[in-house]
Structure 1
Amino acid sequence: MTKKISADMVSAFSKQINKDAQKQVIKDTMIKNGIQASTTNQASVISMNHVFSEEIETGKVTNQKQSGRCWMFAALNTFTHKLNESFNLQDFELSQNYVNFWDKFEKANYFLENILESIEEPLDGRLVSWLLDTPQQDGGQWDMLVSLIEKYGVVPKQVMPETFHSGNSRQLNTLLNAKLREDAMKLRTSYQQRQSEEELQQIKKEMLSEIYTILAYTLGEPPQTFDFEYRDENKEFHREAGITPQEFYWKYVGLDLRYYVSVINAPTQDKPYGKTYTVQFLGNVAGGKPIKYLNVDMAILKDLAIQQIKDNETVWFGCDVAQYMNRDEGILDPELYDFDKAFGFSFNMSKAERLDYKEGMLTHAMVLTGVNLADGKPNRWKIENSWGTKAGNDGYFVASDEWMNQYTYQVVIHKKYLSEELKKAWEKEPVMLKPWDPMGSLALMK
């Protein structure tokens, strides 16, 4: 029997609030100032000091603007940290737009290939509905970045700078997704008309030509070769003429990305620790590096990150950034807002429960550039974001260790830091997760 909301029920709820003068003050404060401003815990603000015992100097923070390219910015930032140090540069940037172009072009092909792979699935089934929901987007994962770098390399930002739509991607994404859904319809219709696989691939090739045109008009065309010219901090001039993006990557960045692994903490019952996982239909480059995660206890994940930071190498990491965040102050801390005290009831799900019930997922990628150790234990972490210098402390954020425990899901670590047991676990065949699993979420927070 359906139980409806009654007038008596609403009246009782209202009386419960208005009989208490203190609750009335809280209500008035929130109405005027908002939830976060009314519940900020000053003790948390004071404790989140932007000073760290282990710290890597990384320079000026980048700005992804109104786009969901955080995963891309975070990865390229880790590259430039090494490049700046090796070649005596300051605040040098790699072109995020160059990688963005190829990501969107490859995602279009990946989507169309997935439509062909699922072509006999019902249109109203969960899989095809999931594919059509978002044919492509700005977001991504570490392994998707690796696939792009291995195929296309990188270029300096000066060679392929930002455009209106690289930093303001909504209109472009809307247009691309409209075209790709139309293309999906045409492919499925052509299949029903008994066109051959070869004919379907030719149709897809023509579709990709249209996608390339959209991207070239909005993002510009990527260079095949370019001249790299710069002055280092000693004012010495350097020039390298006619270099390709792949050659540039290996000469000036030189990181062998095959030796970096994605380590996650997903403490749900369906994902035992010490095993590897992949996600069906998650990727961007057809035939590229498959998504692969190694699931470990959070203490192990943090220890691996600390080891890499101590060796003066920054750490790409994925988290649920909007949880208990003050964007202006650059603070991430579960104690930052006194929601429980203000409302009089708890907000209390475990990390596993948040993943299971869609309250928690990886939404944003940033870079760990420092950690504060007290008696050998971390109590706060330094984070390089990609929201420009006006957010946080000149663009840098600080996270409490408990925030890391609760809201960090992934770090990318060099294999050399893994124990022998974890190295063996990494080599095992990954368990295939469904496309809609929470670990299939993409970092795309703006």
Structure 2
Amino acid sequence: MSAEITSSDLDQFKQDLQATPGAAALQKAVMNNGINATAENTDSKVSMTPTFSIELETGAVANQKQSGRCWMFAALNTMRHGIQAQFKIKDFELSQNYTNFWDKFEKSNYFYENVLKTADQPLDSRKVAFLLATPQQDGGQWDMLSALIEKYGIVPKSVMPETYNSSKSNELNGLLNLKLRKDAVKLRKLVADKASDADIEAAKQKMLAEDYRILAYALGNPPTKFDFEYRDDDKNYHIDRELTPQTFFKKYVGWNLDDYQSIINAPTADKPYNHLYTVEMLGNVVGGREVRHLNLDIDTFKALAIKQLKAGESVWFGSDVGQSSDRQLGILDTNIYKKDDLFNTDFTMTKAERLDYGESLMTHAMVLTGVDIVDGKPTKWKVENSWGDKVGEKGYFVASDDWFDQFVYQVVISKKYLPTELQDVIKNEYGKPTVLAPWDPMGALASR
């Protein structure tokens, strides 16, 4: 049964509005200043001071500019922190353009393979529609960058610097997605016409050659060998010759990426805690590392992040950055806006409800570089963003602990900080994780 809005309903709504105390003044304020500015809470600004009991020393923030590579910047930031400290290069950066090149190239192949896998399904099937909606994009997740590094290594930013298209990615993304959709038409037709595997592979190889050319024109040629030349903070000159991207990673970062685990906090009924999950059609490198998420309760989730910070290691994390945030001030706080009070309306939803009903998901990745612990409990967190130094405190943000509870969905933790029982879950379930649908919110790509 459906019920229309009647004229008597409208009369009652108008009467209710007129009877609301201060309605005229509030209406004028909201109309002239906007919702956020009118609802902004001064108390939040006072409480979110950038002072922390545990704080790592890190250099100047990076700037992803007009691109959605936050996940890449955040991951490379966690890796450069060690280089900055060990080799005394305070503001050193790794090349985000290098990993961007290979990410887009591998995503093209990943798309082709998924097109072929779903070629027997109609265009209006949910999976095919999902696949064609965004053939590739700037966004990603931790395991996807790990897959790239394991295959291609990394290089200093000086060796493959930013280009117009890496920093302002809209034109390249539009062109590449046009190309991939056009290729999808041909691949599906080849399958429908019962072409041989050899003919399909030959067509795909031609497509990939074209993709490589597009990326090389837009982003430059990825280096295969280079010299690493720099001056340290003491003004001493250094040069390391004849490095490859793989040897550079081994020598200057030296991580075993298998030692790091994506941990999520997804308190929905379909994802019991203490189990491993993956997401169908989520990835970039065919034949490379696959996404694996260990779902934990929020208390354990936070305790692991604190443990890693106490050990002097920064923490990659994924969040819904647009929720309860002031970009210019660099404040992430559930109390930054008093919208419930302003509109006399309860906007409260649980974290699980927001995930289930499409109100929230991971949109942005950043790095935890500090935490303020008072009486044994975290009160606020220091966040290294990648939006340049004109926002926040020279690019660093402050997140309240409640905001962390509500809007942080993923952290990456070294397995050595996990208790034995959780390490056993990873070992036992890695080859048989629960597979989530492609559109599950835990498959969202950080792209802000």
Q: TM-score range by the shorter chain?
A: over 0.9
Tell me, in whole angstroms, the C-alpha distance in 1 between the residues paired with 2:333 and 2:71: 22
Q: Which residue of the partner structure matches residue 66 of structure 2? A: 66
Asked whether 1:340 is paired with 2:344, we answer no
Q: Which residue of the partner structure matches residue 441 of structure 1? A: 444
Tell me, in whole angstroms, the C-alpha distance in 2 between the residues paired with 1:342 and 1:44: 16
Aligned residue identity for 1:343: F
Task: Please tell me whether the aligned partners of residues 88 and 232 of structure 1 are also in contact (alpha carbons under 8 angstroms).
Answer: yes
Displacement, 1:435?
A: 0.5
Task: Please tell me whether the aligned partners of residues 58 and 90 of structure 2 are also in contact (alpha carbons under 8 angstroms).
Answer: no
Displacement, 1:14?
A: 2.8
Tell me, in whole angstroms, the C-alpha distance in 1 between the residues paired with 2:418 and 2:440: 26
Task: Please tell me whether the aligned partners of residues 278 and 291 of structure 2 are also in contact (alpha carbons under 8 angstroms).
Answer: yes
Asked whether 1:125 is paired with 2:125, we answer yes
Task: Please tell me whether the aligned partners of residues 72 and 140 of structure 1 are also in contact (alpha carbons under 8 angstroms).
Answer: yes
Asked whether 1:430 is paired with 2:438, we answer no
Tell me, in whole angstroms, the C-alpha distance in 2 between the residues paired with 1:316 and 1:372: 18
Q: Which residue of the partner structure matches residue 368 of structure 2? A: 368
Q: Which residue of the partner structure matches residue 269 of structure 1? A: 269
- CA deviation digits over 1:35-56, x for unaligned, max 9? 1110111111101110000000
Aligned residue identity for 1:334: T
Asked whether 1:314 is paired with 2:314, we answer yes
Q: Secondary structure at the match of 2:378?
A: strand
Q: Secondary structure at the match of 1:388?
A: coil
Q: Which residue of the partner structure matches residue 157 of structure 2? A: 157
Displacement, 1:335?
A: 0.9
Tell me, in whole angstroms, the C-alpha distance in 1 between the residues paired with 2:248 and 2:7: 70
Tell me, in whole angstroms, the C-alpha distance in 2 between the residues paired with 1:144 and 1:215: 19
Query: Aligned runs of 1:28-427 on 2, under 5 Å?
Result: 28-427=28-427
Displacement, 1:120?
A: 1.1
Displacement, 1:267?
A: 0.4
Q: Secondary structure at the match of 2:306?
A: helix
Task: Please tell me whether the aligned partners of residues 268 and 352 of structure 1 are also in contact (alpha carbons under 8 angstroms).
Answer: yes
Displacement, 1:21?
A: 5.3
Task: Please tell me whether the aligned partners of residues 280 and 435 of structure 2 are also in contact (alpha carbons under 8 angstroms).
Answer: yes
Point out where structure 1 has 5 or more consecutive residues left out of the alignment. none
Tell me, in whole angstroms, the C-alpha distance in 2 between the residues paired with 1:11 and 1:287: 63
Aligned residue identity for 1:233: D
Displacement, 1:103?
A: 0.3
TM-score, normalization: structure 2? 0.98
Tell me, in whole angstroms, the C-alpha distance in 1 between the residues paired with 2:229 and 2:106: 29
Give the alignment's Cα RMSD to 1 decimal.
1.0
Equivalent residues, number: 445
Tell me, in whole angstroms, the C-alpha distance in 1 between the residues paired with 2:212 and 2:8: 61
Tell me, in whole angstroms, the C-alpha distance in 1 between the residues paired with 2:142 and 2:67: 17
Point out where structure 2 has 5 or more consecutive residues left out of the alignment. none
Task: Please tell me whether the aligned partners of residues 63 and 386 of structure 1 are also in contact (alpha carbons under 8 angstroms).
Answer: yes
- CA deviation digits over 1:300-331, x for unaligned, max 9? 01100001100110000001111000011111
Runs of 4+ in 1 over 4 A off after TM superposition: none
Tell me, in whole angstroms, the C-alpha distance in 1 between the residues paired with 2:104 and 2:6: 51
Tell me, in whole angstroms, the C-alpha distance in 1 between the residues paired with 2:359 and 2:197: 41
Task: Please tell me whether the aligned partners of residues 319 and 363 of structure 1 are also in contact (alpha carbons under 8 angstroms).
Answer: yes
Task: Please tell me whether the aligned partners of residues 262 and 294 of structure 1 are also in contact (alpha carbons under 8 angstroms).
Answer: yes
Task: Please tell me whether the aligned partners of residues 333 and 400 of structure 1 are also in contact (alpha carbons under 8 angstroms).
Answer: yes
Task: Please tell me whether the aligned partners of residues 17 and 24 of structure 1 are also in contact (alpha carbons under 8 angstroms).
Answer: no
TM-score, normalization: structure 1? 0.98
Aligned residue identity for 2:385: N
Q: Which moved more, 1:227-236 or 1:19-28?
A: 19-28
Aligned residue identity for 2:191: Y
Displacement, 1:63?
A: 0.5
